[in-house]
Amino acid sequence: MLACVSEPVYLLGIDTSCDDTGVGVVALTASGPEVRANVVWSQTVHAEYGGVMPELASREHVERIDQLLPQALAEASIELADLGAVAATSGPGLMGALLVGLMYGKGLAQALTVPFYAVHHLEGHVYAAATEENLAPPYLALVVSGGHTHLFDVPTQGEYHLVGATRDDAVGEAFDKVARLAGLGYPGGPAISAAAERGDPLAIPFKPPLQGQAGFEFSFSGLKTAALLAHQRGASAEDLAASFQRAAVRALVGTSVRAAEAYGRETLVVSGGVAANRELRAAFAQTGLRVAFPAGGLNTDNGAMIALAGAAALQARQTSSDLGVSAAAYVPLAPLPGGSAAAARRKAR
């Protein structure tokens, strides 16, 4: 355990949970954590298959990670020996892909004899936004990506209560699928967002899903089907994009605002790839809540956010993870054995 933060403690963060190889460096200074490097290799090998091929993702992580580490160190202007801790995602994600970054991180920590922190991928996303505004809990955290649409209540650091999640498709997945059917390309989020600027958001009267109902769940598969029907009836790609985006954004914002009222929270952090969406950011700005988003480059999967979660664990003087910690493909944000959220709860007991 590192005793003080009078000079920067440099943390390396690694994320290989899906199809992005991310390596980042965070400096933990007396005034808090600062991202010093964020290097991401977004795999393109999957494009011809129309989805992520797990075995190809693992192989590509193996090939790239050795190149990304020196790049990240150079970007941060530090040497390997300057690292004071290493953090890596241990779940959830693709098993083989996770194992590459986790084993790499554990091996590096062992070789450098520095603490290792196993981090839950979603906790990394949450810290990417919270750190940007220097926020501490309590807050609500909305994680919106290609694989997740999760709303958590975070009463204290490291404590997560699931408030609501999607019943079916993740919102980013719906952006990707609607973009594909409209012929707008991949990844769908930025493509929909760009096309929507030229479309009429009121052209197709999509109903924002699950609004006016009790509870805080989300659902995007009905909206995706409605978009398919509108496309078959001849709606333009631009109107489809603008109308779909409007309905999806209204569902995310409407449910989050109701949850904030129900849980008595005035602050919300929004993260994950879809948090880059301009309409979403503009709609949240109208809510009266204090809303934090990640800085550029930290919305989508990256290693810096994992280093930020590790830095929070280090700052809170949490016990580092056992090097025996293994990867978990499916794991809820609360109990990650040996991980950062679990360590915080152990400490609070």
Annotated binding residues for Fe cation, as ranges?
Answer: 121, 125, 301
Residue 40's closest CA among 11, 67, 76, 58?
Answer: 67
Handedness of CA 289, 290, 295, 296 (dihedral sign): positive
State the minimum distance, in angstroms, from the CB of residue 248 to ligand KG4: 8
Nearer to ligand KG4 by C-beta: 54 or 190?
190
| Binder of residue 277, out of Zn ion, ligand KG4, none (CB less than 5 to 8 A by kind) | ligand KG4
CA distance 187 to 190: 7
Report if residue 146 touches ligand KG4, rule: CB under 6 A: yes
CA distance 18 to 151: 21
Catalog residues that contact Zn ion under the rule CB under 5 A: 145, 301
Element (H, E) at 128: helix 121-130
Contact (CB, 8 A) for 143 and 272: yes
Figure out which of the listed residues 189, 199, 201, 209 binds ligand KG4, where binding follows CB under 6 A. Answer: 189
222 is an interface residue for ligand KG4 by CB under 6 A = no
Binding mask 35-74 for ligand KG4 (x = CB under 6 A): ----------------------------------------
Nearer to Zn ion, 16 or 320 (CB): 16
CB of 107 to Zn ion, least distance (A): 23
Both tokens assigned to 174: 């719906």
Q: Does residue 284 interact with ligand KG4 by CB under 6 A?
A: no
The least distance separating ligand KG4 from the CB of residue 309, rounded to whole angstroms, comes to: 15
Q: Is 172 in the site for ligand KG4 (CB under 6 A)?
A: yes
- Give the single-character DSSP code of 47: G
Residue numbers belonging to the annotated binding site for substrate: 143-147, 176, 189, 277
Question: Using CB under 6 A as the criterion, which residues of the chain lie in contact with ligand KG4 when the complex forms?
Answer: 18, 145-147, 172-173, 175-176, 187-190, 193, 272-274, 276-277, 300-301
